[in-house]
């Protein structure tokens, strides 16, 4: 058994885990990531990364590489029942890409910094007193602190935050696919109880599509569950079928139920701290899930350095900075889902008028995008 007793143990090699690992290593702190998969694999899902997270990638010297391998849409166009109702001009630092691309860039950086990642390590349990992690492959490791970055189904959250509630079906299921086509704008198509988002993922012509349906019948929450084009088109038969032309070139179409969990009152306990979806899984209607994971990982890493590895103080300040913001974004995402999936004709009419004639949508997003992690950390000096 390798000696990792001087390392911060990160359970989960997703966005939050890799960002935390990179940030900590840049500050001179040893880390090891335990990842249950055999390799990095995100099945081609799309992702949007807004300026609040791009600023962090810049601080880690990853911004330029990410932008060069991704896309910056000129604008986002809103449609309702196949007719344009408004648009928002793009932001040069609002980037659309694939999760696989982002993860590969983070992984390469992590390895370049000397980080270790152990694949095929599926978490089993831990001994909190010994700070020992035990895995299903019968291997165990002692670390000096544990970061739970193990997603919405986090067994660490299940075991040590029992009052947080189990994953709950949100009332929406979604389809996703990656295809090819000619597209320079992001497009949001609204319908009664349904919506579709398509955007270019890079300069190679790859396009990401996510189509969401409000549906009271729960659906499996695995992103790896294959679906059929026929079934998906039946869900969206009132939409212009040209929207789906890109999926003709898609190798696979996936269908999954969107789940969430109740907000936590605390995101740490003793020597365990939660990050990303383990701390605050959210519905995807603001495109902030990945961005919050980036903010989490960077914040924790910078606080460890600021307080010289005093994890009790680090955890207190991490929670102070992150909990209010992530709980708020969770709530806003749920509200946005309701706005997208309205069915009452009168309320839909007023929603569309707001989109067409006001800048409310852009103003609300700017408030989220203007958040600066370093500014929040600096405030601690005056608290």
pLDDT attached to residue 245: 79
Q: Domain 8-44+98-166+264-382 has what CATH class? A: alpha beta
Contacts of 187 (CB under 8 A, 6+ apart): 76, 77, 79, 196, 197, 198, 199, 243
The domain spans of the chain are: 8-44+98-166+264-382
Q: Which residues contact 337 (CB under 8 A, 6 or more apart)?
A: 170, 172, 212, 283, 285
pLDDT at 221 over 70: no
The b-or-e profile of 177-197 (16+ CB within 10 A means b, else e) is bbbbeebeebbbbbbeebbbb
**What is the structure's pLDDT at 309?**
86
| pLDDT tens per residue across span 22-45 | 999 999 999 999 999 988 766 668
- Mean pLDDT value of segment 131-156: 95
pLDDT band at 166 (very low <50, low <70, confident <90, very high): confident
Query: Closest Cα partner for 361 from 188, 154, 116?
Result: 188
Does position 200 have pLDDT exceeding 90, yes or no? yes
**Which strand (E) or helix (H) includes residue 125?**
strand 123-127
Distance CA 362, CA 367 (A): 9
Helices (H), 207-344: 229-235, 289-306, 311-340
What does DSSP say about strands 75-80 and 186-191: parallel, antiparallel, or unpaired?
parallel
> Which pLDDT value is given to residue 222?
63
Q: Are 4 and 34 in contact (CB under 8 A)?
A: no
d(CA 153, CA 5): 26
Q: Taking the chain, what is the end-to-end CA distance rounded to the nearest angstrom?
A: 43
Rounded to 5°, the CA angle 252-257-262 comes to 145
């Amino acid at each position: 058994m390798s000696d990792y007793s001087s390392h911060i143990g990160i359970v989960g090699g997703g966005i939050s885990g890799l960002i935390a690992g990179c940030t900590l290593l840049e500050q001179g702190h040893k880390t090891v990531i335990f990842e249950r998969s055999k390799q990095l694999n995100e099945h081609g899902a799309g992702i949007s990364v807004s300026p609040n997270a791009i600023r962090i990638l810049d601080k880690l010297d990853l911004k330029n590489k990410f932008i060069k391998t991704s896309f910056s849409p000129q604008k986002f166009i809103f449609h309702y029942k196949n007719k344009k109702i408004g648009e928002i001009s793009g932001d040069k630092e609002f980037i659309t890409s694939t999760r696989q691309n982002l993860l590969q860039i983070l992984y390469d950086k992590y390895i370049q910094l000397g980080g270790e990642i152990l694949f095929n390590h599926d978490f089993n349990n831990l001994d909190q007193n010994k700070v020992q992690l035990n895995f299903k492959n019968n291997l165990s490791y002692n670390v000096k602190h544990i970061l739970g970055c193990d997603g919405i189904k986090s067994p660490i959250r299940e075991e040590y935050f029992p009052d947080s509630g189990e994953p709950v079906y949100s009332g929406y299921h979604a389809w996703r696919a990656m295809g090819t086509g000619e597209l320079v704008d992001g497009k949001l198509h609204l319908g009664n109880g349904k919506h579709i988002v398509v955007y270019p993922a890079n300069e190679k012509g790859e396009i990401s599509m996510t189509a969401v349906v409000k549906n009271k019948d729960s659906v499996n929450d695995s992103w790896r569950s294959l679906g059929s084009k026929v079934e998906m088109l039946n869900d969206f038969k009132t939409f212009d079928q040209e929207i789906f032309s890109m999926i003709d070139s898609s190798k696979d179409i996936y269908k999954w139920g969107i789940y969430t969990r109740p907000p936590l009152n605390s995101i740490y306990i003793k020597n365990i701290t939660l990050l990303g979806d383990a701390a605050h899984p959210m519905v995807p209607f603001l495109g902030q899930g990945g961005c919050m994971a980036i903010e989490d990982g960077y914040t924790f890493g910078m606080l460890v350095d600021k307080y010289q590895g005093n994890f009790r103080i680090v955890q207190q300040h991490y929670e102070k900075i992150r909990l209010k913001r992530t709980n708020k974004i969770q709530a806003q995402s749920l509200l946005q889902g309701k706005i997208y999936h309205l069915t009452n004709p009168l309320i839909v009419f007023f929603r569309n008028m707001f989109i067409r004639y006001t800048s409310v949508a852009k103003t609300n997003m700017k408030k989220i995008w203007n958040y600066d992690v370093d500014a929040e950390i600096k405030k601690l000096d005056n608290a």
